[in-house]
Chain A
Amino acid sequence: MRLEPIANPSLARTILPPMIAIATTVVVASLLAMLAGANPFAVLGLIIKGAFGSKFAVLETLNRATPLIFTGLSVAVAFRARLWNIGAEAQLYAGALITVVLGTGALPWGAGALLPTLVLAAMLAGAVVLLVPALLKVRFGVDEVVTTLLFNFIFLLFVSMLLEGPLKDPMGMGWPKSERLITEARLPRMMEGLRLHWGFGLAIISAALVWVIQRRTTLGYEMRAVGLNRDAARFAGIAVNGVLIRTALLSGGLAALAGFSEVAGVKGSLTLDLSPGFGYTGIIVAMLALLNPLAVVAAALFVAGIFVGADSMSRAVGVPTYLADIMLATALLLMVLAILLTRFRVVRE
């Protein structure tokens, strides 16, 4: 068996495999739901209803999607240039960390000055965190998959150390938790009475900006060229290492915004459970979106919807929420396969 590229894939070739992938995911989830002793149709219905069935559900899904849009964009930007950033989790915590360092009273400013400052500071912190592996890669050829992945654990322990030490909230009754942000540092709601903070708005704007960068600027052109064919890019005169560094700065900055947005928009303080793996889930989001920044928004909504829906379903019929993880993993694996099949046909030798 071998794969043969298809020159001009037909419309059916492009659409059918992803559809079949989603359908198969649903079937797998149904089988597992039956195994757990529930009616699969009821379970799926409850997931959809729990994710999108009411105003509250939709807002919950949008809130949950917000950090995933940021980390998804971060991964999409890096992967597009073939910079394998697995460290969005660490960059997220870097953004969160700088937010509580500056936002708990150190800068006694009004919201109009403080919030933009926090956004820039968070992006800078995330950029620096990814800059180190990126420099190691271009200078010494160190594999960034290893460094960014391991740095996640190092950075989480670093945050843990700070939360037990200098950043510990004296009024926190001994919990490893930072002080609360001052009111001026909190992200306001996008509309009065709706439980949706401006982090979501910032995420949508970021997605649009990333799209503009990739399609309309020389940097975006360079990033795509470096990602598709590094040899040809270097031959043509593109400074490949410089492009990788700039890609790392952008990618790290985007992931850090997830941390800023979670602290300033939702939690109000920093704890070690700020992110249930948003950095890693960002990889799934980016892959499902085929690294397209606009599709990242849709993919993040899909992934967030499954998580939120599964929570709600679990409360109603008692099927464990792990069903959501299995669904996402299945969807991702099948989608990768489906994407392959849109571009190649299998030939038996």
Chain B
Amino acid sequence: MTGAEAAQVVLRLDRITKTFGKLVANDAVSLSLHRGEVIALLGENGAGKTTLMNILFGQYTADSGAVEVFGKALPPGNPRAALDAGVGMVHQHFTLADNMTVLENVALGTVPLWQPRLDPAAVRARITKLADDFRLSVDPEARVGTLTVGERQRVEILKALYREAKILILDEPTAVLTPQETDDLFATLRKAVALGLSIVFISHKLHEVMDISDRVVILRHGRLVAEMATRDTDRHALAAAMVGAEVNAPKVSPATPGAALLQLRDVSTPDQGNAPGLKRATLHLRAGQITGLAGVSGNGQAALADLIGGLTAPDAGQLDLDGVGLAQWSPRIAVQSGIARIPEDRHKTGTIADFTLTENAILESYHKPPMSRRGWMNWARAETATQEIIECYDVRCPGPETRIRLLSGGNMQKLILGRVLEAAPRIILANQPVRGLDIGAVNYVHSQLLAARARGAAVLLISEDLDEIMALSDVIHVISEGRLSPEFARGSMTPAELGVWMAGHGFERDEVAHAS
């Protein structure tokens, strides 16, 4: 027996099963966590990782199975009991009050209602001590709204530690971090483990899992399919276990770029609430080339996608199509100019859930022949066209009259691909095209983008997954706070170097130059 296995078991999940309607999210999953151990919970989107942790934390009630913390059964469906037992959870989406200070956020919920006001000095002293112990540098007096994403995450972790959590659950903590911030987070986690805490680390990024965990537990379609010590495995074995087959990164041959089809020259767009607009962005999308846009989410990707998709017009600067400036700009003009748009959110903007496949397939073409003539719809023609998309793009569905809400994300995405690629577009805007898809659908979408490139289309690939960007793109830009980095050729930058740009460094000199 090794040391880790001999250590005290702090958390035990026993045959947890949870279903949502027909979907089995967790299927008799059992798991135990020891003192001072980091378990990585690995699996694709939809494998049941988050559901399992929400059951542990009492936000869901399992259909069957039991949770034990420090040897005591945890009453189901009671987050307060989980907190009291020493379980702390850092959610993917932070649960902080933006208008309050770090100190107030941390103390929130720990002070009884009848106590008129909290003792800030005592709280501050504890926060400072915790911050020192765990290397979580953050100003207790800062308003959360002014903090960066990485800092907010530290506040979330502080919140859990302040409540004396002995078990930390981190749900995809690195999804919103730059590579450097991720390193800081890992330093904190190592410190926590050294101090006797136990950690469940949810991720689907293999190199992080290899880096931080002692043991890996892999979920697939709600089942626990593999469990292994991290030192006995490697990334390929993990990937294989995760998807159930060996994964092959797409083979990408060198591109033969042509003329710039779409150009942004010093384009700025207005900020949208918290999301920054573009700041003097310059970009050339060339025929036969995939341009990758890397960046931490919420740094202006939406502004760029909205601009190219026709939803917003430039505030300043110029948008050129085929070298000609545009007088008018709208989604319909964008489509008519040969821009295929794969939207970021296929449920909210890509499709209309209660429309049939046919009605969804003609969303961009209903207004002109052959789909309609002088205001009259030609439904027979629309259904034929949809049937063709269903066959060509392998959309698994009962038929064109099915409401699209009944389709899986992958099939929904295939219908969108069919809708926008049928018109043989010259420019393709692919915004997070594989988010939430299973590996088969991911490969399909990527092969379609590569085929379009081979045909001579200019492709803009926006993704938060740096691996995806680096695998597919011929050139890469980094976006940070609405600013675009210069163009980097394939292979000219390491992930760490891109990370520096993602964190917002490297732009400063440009700013000085533009300051006049």
Taken together as a complex, chains A and B put the C-alpha atoms of A4 and B20 apart, in Å, by: 8
Give the residue name and chain of the A residue nearest to B331 (CB).
A237
- A14 interface residue (CB < 8 Å to B): no
User: Which chain A residues border B50 with CB–CB below 8 Å?
Assistant: none
Restricting to A91-108, which residues have a CB under 8 Å from any CB of B? none
- B377 interface residue (CB < 8 Å to A): yes
- Judge whether A217 and B21 touch: CB under 8 Å: no
Restricting to B317-376, which residues have a CB under 8 Å from any CB of A? 330-332, 334-335, 341, 343, 348-355, 359, 363-364, 366-367, 372, 375-376
Restricting to A232-291, which residues have a CB under 8 Å from any CB of B? 232-238
- Judge whether A217 and B375 touch: CB under 8 Å: yes
Taken together as a complex, chains A and B put the C-alpha atoms of A6 and B350 apart, in Å, by: 22
Binds B, one of A47-55, A118-126, A129-137, A221-229: A221-229
- Judge whether A217 and B377 touch: CB under 8 Å: yes
In the complex, what's the smallest C-beta–C-beta distance from B345 to chain A, in angstroms?
8
Q: Which of A221, A234, A237 has the most CB of B within 10 A?
A: A237
Q: How many residues of A contact B (CB 8 A)?
A: 24
Selected contact of B406 from candidates A8, A216, A235, CB within 8 Å = A8
- Judge whether A236 and B353 touch: CB under 8 Å: no
- B309 interface residue (CB < 8 Å to A): yes
Selected contact of A218 from candidates B309, B330, B332, B372, CB within 8 Å = B372
User: Which chain B residues border A7 with CB–CB below 8 Å?
Assistant: 21-22, 406
User: Which chain B residues border A192 with CB–CB below 8 Å?
Assistant: none
Taken together as a complex, chains A and B put the C-alpha atoms of A233 and B350 apart, in Å, by: 9
Determine chain A's interface SS by DSSP, over half rule: helix
User: Which chain B residues border A217 with CB–CB below 8 Å?
Assistant: 375-377
Task: Given A8-B406, A232-B348, A235-B311, verify A225-B376 contact (CB < 8 Å).
Answer: no
Taken together as a complex, chains A and B put the C-alpha atoms of A235 and B375 apart, in Å, by: 20
- B173 interface residue (CB < 8 Å to A): no
Give the residue name and chain of the A residue nearest to B310 (CB).
A237
User: Which chain A residues border B363 with CB–CB below 8 Å?
Assistant: 225, 232-233, 236-238
In the complex, what's the smallest C-beta–C-beta distance from B362 to chain A, in angstroms?
8
In the complex, what's the smallest C-beta–C-beta distance from B396 to chain A, in angstroms?
15
Taken together as a complex, chains A and B put the C-alpha atoms of A189 and B506 apart, in Å, by: 83
In the complex, what's the smallest C-beta–C-beta distance from A1 to chain B, in angstroms?
12
- Judge whether A236 and B331 touch: CB under 8 Å: yes
- Judge whether A231 and B377 touch: CB under 8 Å: no
Taken together as a complex, chains A and B put the C-alpha atoms of A347 and B376 apart, in Å, by: 43
Taken together as a complex, chains A and B put the C-alpha atoms of A218 and B343 apart, in Å, by: 23
Selected contact of B354 from candidates A216, A228, A236, CB within 8 Å = A228
- Judge whether A221 and B359 touch: CB under 8 Å: yes
- A113 interface residue (CB < 8 Å to B): no
Restricting to A1-41, which residues have a CB under 8 Å from any CB of B? 4-8
Selected contact of A237 from candidates B332, B354, B372, B376, CB within 8 Å = B332
Selected contact of B377 from candidates A216, A232, A234, CB within 8 Å = A216
In the complex, what's the smallest C-beta–C-beta distance from B316 to chain A, in angstroms?
23
- B486 interface residue (CB < 8 Å to A): no
- B75 interface residue (CB < 8 Å to A): no
Selected contact of B376 from candidates A216, A232, A233, CB within 8 Å = A216
Interface residues on B, range: 35 or more
In the complex, what's the smallest C-beta–C-beta distance from B378 to chain A, in angstroms?
10
Taken together as a complex, chains A and B put the C-alpha atoms of A295 and B332 apart, in Å, by: 35
Give the residue name and chain of the A residue nearest to B350 (CB).
A232
- A146 interface residue (CB < 8 Å to B): no
Taken together as a complex, chains A and B put the C-alpha atoms of A224 and B358 apart, in Å, by: 14
In the complex, what's the smallest C-beta–C-beta distance from B431 to chain A, in angstroms?
11
Task: Given A232-B351, A235-B309, verify A218-B367 contact (CB < 8 Å).
Answer: yes
Taken together as a complex, chains A and B put the C-alpha atoms of A219 and B374 apart, in Å, by: 11
Selected contact of B364 from candidates A6, A8, A220, A237, CB within 8 Å = A237
In the complex, what's the smallest C-beta–C-beta distance from B341 to chain A, in angstroms?
8
Task: Given A4-B20, A221-B377, A225-B355, verify A232-B349 contact (CB < 8 Å).
Answer: yes
- Judge whether A4 and B355 touch: CB under 8 Å: no
- B77 interface residue (CB < 8 Å to A): yes
- B61 interface residue (CB < 8 Å to A): yes
- Judge whether B310 and A233 touch: CB under 8 Å: no
In the complex, what's the smallest C-beta–C-beta distance from B332 to chain A, in angstroms?
3
Restricting to B1-27, which residues have a CB under 8 Å from any CB of A? 20-22
User: Which chain A residues border B331 with CB–CB below 8 Å?
Assistant: 234-237
Restricting to B285-335, which residues have a CB under 8 Å from any CB of A? 309-311, 330-332, 334-335
In the complex, what's the smallest C-beta–C-beta distance from B73 to chain A, in angstroms?
19
Taken together as a complex, chains A and B put the C-alpha atoms of A161 and B348 apart, in Å, by: 48
User: Which chain B residues border A225 with CB–CB below 8 Å?
Assistant: 352, 355, 359, 363
- Judge whether A218 and B349 touch: CB under 8 Å: no
Restricting to A72-94, which residues have a CB under 8 Å from any CB of B? none
Task: Given A8-B406, A218-B375, A236-B364, verify A231-B348 contact (CB < 8 Å).
Answer: yes
Taken together as a complex, chains A and B put the C-alpha atoms of A225 and B356 apart, in Å, by: 11
| Binary A-proximity of B456-474 (CB < 8 A = 1, otherwise 0) | 0000000000000000000
Restricting to A163-221, which residues have a CB under 8 Å from any CB of B? 216-221
Give the residue name and chain of the B residue nearest to A7 (CB).
B406
Task: Given A225-B355, A232-B363, A235-B309, verify A218-B377 contact (CB < 8 Å).
Answer: yes
Restricting to B38-70, which residues have a CB under 8 Å from any CB of A? 60-61
User: Which chain B residues border A232 with CB–CB below 8 Å?
Assistant: 348-352, 363
- A sample of 6 inter-chain contacts (CB < 8 A) reads A4-B21, A7-B406, A218-B377, A229-B352, A231-B348, A235-B349
Q: Interface on B for A, CB 8 Å cutoff?
A: 20-22, 60-61, 77, 309-311, 330-332, 334-335, 341, 343, 348-355, 359, 363-364, 366-367, 372, 375-377, 379, 405-406
Task: Known A-B contacts: A237-B332, A237-B367. Give 8 more (CB < 8 A).
Answer: A4-B20, A220-B377, A221-B366, A229-B351, A232-B348, A235-B343, A237-B310, A349-B77
Give 4 closest A-B pairs by Cβ, nearest first: A237-B332, A236-B363, A237-B331, A229-B352
